[in-house]
Structure 1
């Protein structure tokens, strides 16, 4: 009989992301890392799903921390979704703009 140890395999999310502050008036920051190197885009959508603006697009190395600022002065007050899309995954974060 051969005993093999039981291993817990933790699957990491392809994108780890946070936004802060989630309620903002001037500026919020979207910060993320990709588990695999690749291309990404960060878009801002309103609650109707309409693209408001592309915040950033580029290429990141695996585990590289990327920060993107969301400027509130040119936006109307309301709820927005910052959507990060990479070659292998996507993540959405809610932001609330109050002037």
Structure 2
């Protein structure tokens, strides 16, 4: 499960997840039309590691976005609300 805080955000927000097992992952930011806005982070998480990713919102427009984590164990996402 992924969480994000603070929501809504203006300049920065943090996306966080706990890895159940060691595996590679990628986290991308999508707008509500499904277009990838940018890659937030990729890496390899250790088992039971809490991964925190800071999202810089200064270069994106106001609106609703999805931060989506993709790994071998599946896909999870969290909704982000960007306000100016």
Q: Same fold (TM over 0.5)?
A: yes
TM-score (norm. length: structure 1):
0.82
Q: CA RMSD in A?
A: 0.7
Structure showing the higher strand proportion among its residues: 2
Task: Select the structure of larger CA radius of gyration.
Answer: 1
User: Take 1:26 and 1:60, find their aligned partners in 2: how far apart are those partners?
Assistant: 26
Counterparts of residues 5-20 of structure 1 (less than 5 Å): 16-20=1-5
* Partner residue, 2:51: 66
User: How far does residue 89 in structure 1 lie from its aligned partner after superposition?
Assistant: 1.3
For structure 1, list consecutive stretches of 5 or more residues without a partner in the other structure.
1-15
For structure 2, list consecutive stretches of 5 or more residues without a partner in the other structure.
none
TM-score (norm. length: structure 2):
0.96
| Count of aligned positions | 84
